[in-house]
Amino acid sequence: MDGMDSETTGADSLVRTLVKGGVGVTFANPGTSEMHYVAALDRVQGMRCVLGLFEGVCSGAADGYYRMTRKPAATLLHLGPGLANAAANLHNAKKAGSGIVNVVGEHATHHIKYDTPLTADIEGIARPFSHWVKTTATSQTVAADGALAIQAARGAPGQIATLILPADTAWGPGGAVAETPATPAPATVAKDAVVAAAKALAGGNSAMLFLGGESLTARSLDLAGRIAAKTGCRVQAAGGTAKLARGAGRVQVLRLHFVIETAQQQLQGVKQIVLAGAKEPAAFFAYPGKPSILTPEGCTVSKLCGWEDDCEAALQALADELGATSLAPIGVAQAKRPDKPTGKFSLDGLGQALGAVLPEGAIVVDESVTTGRGFFPFSAGAPPHDWLNNMGGSIGFGGPVSVGAGVACPDRKVVCMIGDGSAMYTIQSLWTMGRENLDICVLIFANRSYQILYSQLSGVGAPNPGPRAIDMLTLDRPTLDFVKLAKGMGVEAAAVTDLDQLNKQLQYAMSTKGPYLIEVVM
């Protein structure tokens, strides 16, 4: 370091820029090329560092953190492969509109050309998963690049900004700490769109307000309920909801179902769809002979606002236009919990057990896949809570997003529901829950198969799987023991085999702080 003041390295200028720009958490899995950056994290006050044992935990945690705070967190990743390991949950975050600042280490600029083992095309890896990608050129400019990354991440919707940091731009002399430029406010929706939407929804029950993104906040839903009170229109949420406000006192919505035929029933008879923060209803997957777009024949689709717009303001303008603002919203959930269920497991029973105990302010992270699809009615009247879904369809989302939600909201209980197959992609998230003592109850629904694929195999026209196909859908040989896995990572756990045991375990989990895993052996 030639006697240089280490507090003025490029890495220090970048960390200070991040802290100044409101990025106060780094979900990290560093390596050698990031060691100067780690040293700077050590020196600079104001950045919380949370270690993940796998990079997909870090990126998913940043997604969860953004969803709960609307503020980007940083990740710290080790060159191309570290970024690649983070990529699946970056994909999910990108589809959820979550802003993240990825800091990705790279070899020193003079070292890259020797194509040593970890050399890779980091920008190429970043591009499919990022809105903004830059390799910083010098230690003097890295702070300014960091500020641009924060600005990008703060966009509406949030963006994935990937800043690639050659080691010499971290260890060389830093420039001034940079001020993050303001992010433009989300666009206000034009009056024309509001008037058109008001007209479209006048169709009453044959019209549908189709909600996504920021149209699923408590306030947006309240406005939607008033609009429905005025017009008689249906109110429907998109299939994926990054964060949905639910519970007693809030306007209830159902999500568009994953199964095409069920979704088509939900949309049956609709002649006008008005999109607010959502895209036109589409099937998750394609199937032979089935449609991709689920809008009924002859139905007109118009857009009130996109997910990039100020959806709450657009819905307010629409309610005003309709003279609905002062009406009482319809569809408001009354406070009411189901009785605790008893006996053998059933899907409804699981939903009831959850609805019976879900505490006020809970954050439900839902990667329950086939098991949890019908849970909504049983928790509609539970105390107000948020419900987070996987927006990108890449499984291995639940544990990591729960980590981020837990870091973001230490005073709220996180309930993380995962299928056994999904849980294994990022099972390392349990260790970070233990390390940070996050208040997360993990529910593993262990049906010991990729249950969804059984129906899918039949859905694609291959209804009678033989032994080689079945072998790729089953997880029961050997049996996964999630209690052992959790304890192996320092998280207390128990298995339950009926609803009575589940009630007891849930009650324990809800009444204590810290991570706890319940394996529901179905």
Smallest distance, Å, CB 225 to a second copy?
27
Binding mask 14-53 for a second copy (x = CB under 8 A): --------------x-xxxx-xx-xx-xxx---x-x-x-x
479 binds a second copy (CB under 8 A): yes
DSSP labels for 410-467? TTS-EEEEEEHHHHGGGTTHHHHHHHTT--EEEEEEE-SB-HHHHHHHHHTT--S--H
457 binds a second copy (CB under 8 A): yes
Smallest distance, Å, CB 116 to a second copy?
5
Which CB, 90 or 276, lies closer to a second copy?
90
Contact, 14 vs 142, CB < 8 A? yes
271 binds a second copy (CB under 8 A): no
Which listed residue (95, 219, 271, 448) binds a second copy by CB under 8 A?
Answer: 95
Measured between alpha carbons, how far apart are the two ends of the chain, in Å? 59
394 binds a second copy (CB under 8 A): yes
Smallest distance, Å, CB 357 to a second copy?
26
Which listed residue (184, 269, 410, 488) binds a second copy by CB under 8 A?
Answer: 488
State residue 225 phi and psi, 5-degree precision.
Answer: -65, -35
Interatomic CA distance for residues 296 and 407, integer angstroms: 43
3 binds a second copy (CB under 8 A): no
State residue 356 phi and psi, 5-degree precision.
Answer: -70, -20
SS3 332: strand
Which listed residue (19, 187, 327, 483) binds a second copy by CB under 8 A?
Answer: 483
Binding mask 202-241 for a second copy (x = CB under 8 A): --------------------------------------x-
Interatomic CA distance for residues 396 and 384, integer angstroms: 26
Q: What is the 3 state secondary structure string of 202-267?
A: CCHHHEEEEECHHHHCHHHHHHHHHHHHHHCCEEEECCCCCCEEECCCCECCCECCCCHHHHHHHH
513 binds a second copy (CB under 8 A): no
139 binds a second copy (CB under 8 A): no
Smallest distance, Å, CB 394 to a second copy?
3
Question: Which residues within the stretch 105-134 sit at the binding site for a second copy (CB under 8 A)?
Answer: 107-108, 110-111, 114-118, 120-121, 124-125, 127-129
Which listed residue (19, 187, 282, 332) binds a second copy by CB under 8 A?
Answer: 282
Which CB, 168 or 348, lies closer to a second copy?
168
Question: Which residues within the stretch 395-414 sit at the binding site for a second copy (CB under 8 A)?
Answer: 396
- With CA atoms as reference, report the closest residue to 317 among 208, 217, 224, 184: 224
425 binds a second copy (CB under 8 A): yes
DSSP labels for 274-324? EEES-PPPB-SS--TT--SB-SPTT-EEEEEE-TTB-HHHHHHHHHHHHT-
Stretches 154-162, 178-186, 295-303, 423-431: which one binds a second copy (CB under 8 A)? 423-431
Q: Please, is 289 exposed, middle or buried when counting C-beta atoms within 10 Å of its C-beta (0-12, 13-18, 19+)?
A: exposed
Place of tokens 């997360």: 440
Binding mask 352-391 for a second copy (x = CB under 8 A): --------------------------------------xx
- With CA atoms as reference, report the closest residue to 302 among 208, 188, 379: 208
Which listed residue (176, 490, 512, 513) binds a second copy by CB under 8 A?
Answer: 490
Q: How many residues bind a second copy (CB under 8 A)?
A: 108
Question: Which residues within the stretch 73-92 sit at the binding site for a second copy (CB under 8 A)?
Answer: 80-82, 84-85, 87-88, 91-92
Contact, 423 vs 414, CB < 8 A? no
**CB contact set of 2 (below 8 Å; sequence gap of 6+):** none
Which CB, 172 or 404, lies closer to a second copy?
172
